[in-house]
Copies of this chain bind each other. A is one copy, B any other.
Amino acid sequence: MILMSGAEVAKSLEQRLQEEVEDLRKRGCQPTLAVLLVGDNPASQSYVRAKLKTAERIGIQARHYELPQSAQQAELLARVRELNVDRQVHGILCQLPLPAHLNADEAVQQIAPLKDVDGLTAANMGLLALGTPRFIPCTPAGILEMLRFYKLPVAGKTAVVIGRSNIVGRPVSILLSQRDWNATVMLCHSKSLQLAEWTRRADLLVAAVGIPEFVTGDMVREGAVVVDVGINRVTDPGRPKGYRICGDVNHRQVAPKCLAITPVPGGVGPMTVTMLMVNTVQAARLQQGLAP
C-alpha cells in the first residue's frame, strides 16, 4: 500500500519551482503573489501564514494585504481592482471564506483572469471545462500532481468523485474525464442514492464531501486508489487541543484495502499551497509573454 505523501510531492515540485523563479528573475521578473485576507478567522490566518512561508521559501515575493472584519464590499472590490492593474503583481489570492456580510463570489469574479491563481473565475473555469486550462484550482491540481508523481493508473479506469463543489469535486471530475487523463468519471453528491454501490466500483475514489470519515471500509473495493480531500476537526478529549483532524475517509478501515491512499493530515493539504505557487509562477510567465 502506497501512502501518498503531500510533503514528498510538494518537495519535488518546489525544487522545480525554485529553478523557474530563478530563471524569471534573470529575465528581470520577480514573481509576486498578492494575498488578501479579510477579518480575523484564525483558520484563514493560519492558511495565509502557510502560503506566505512557502512563497518565501521558493523565492516568490508575497505581499500581504489585510482588511478588517468590518470591511465593506466596496473596499474589497476596490482593492482587487487596484491589484488587477498593478504590474508588479502576477497573482491575486482572496483567502476564503470571507466574513458573512461580504459577497465572496463577486469579489473572486472581479479578479483579472490572468492573475486568478486560484482558478475560480468563470473565464478560467470555462477554459478548464473546454479542455484548455490556464490555471487549475489548487486542490484539483494537487490531486492530479500526486497521481502523476506516484504513477498511479487513471486512463480507462473508473473514477468516482464524491462532492460537487466548485473548488474541488466539480473541477476534478471534469479534469479526470478529459483526454489528458481519460478516466470514466461518475460525480456523486448529497442527492445521490445508493452511493456505496458506485464507490465500490471505483478504481479511483476522490472524497471531497466535508463529512468526517464518511467513506467506510465497506464502500471501497480492494486495490482502489483513494484520495481524501477532507480536513475535518473532530472533538477528541484525549488530545491536548481537545480535537483531532480527520479526513472524509475512515483511514483505519479503508487504507488496508488500497493500492494507494492519501493520509490526513499530510496528503492533499500540503499540495494545495504548493499548487498555488505553481500557478503564481505560471501567471508570471504568462504575463511575461513566455510559454506556460
Contact = CB atoms under 8 A, between A and B. Distances in A.
A196 interface: no
Interface string A176-204: 01100010111111011100001000000
A58 to B, nearest CB: 28
A189 B198 contact: no
A182 B124 CA distance: 24
Contact of A174 (B121, B123, B129, B193): B129
A164 to B, nearest CB: 6
A264 interface: no
B193 A184 contact: yes
Contacts of A122: 122-124, 126-127, 130
27 contacts: A121-B126, A122-B122, A122-B123, A122-B126, A122-B127, A123-B123, A123-B126, A124-B126, A125-B130, A126-B127, A126-B129, A129-B129, A129-B166, A129-B170, A129-B171, A131-B166, A170-B174, A173-B187, A174-B174, A182-B191, A184-B186, A184-B188, A184-B189, A184-B191, A184-B198, A185-B187, A186-B187
Interface of A: 121-131, 155-156, 164, 166, 170-171, 173-174, 177-178, 182, 184-189, 191-193, 198
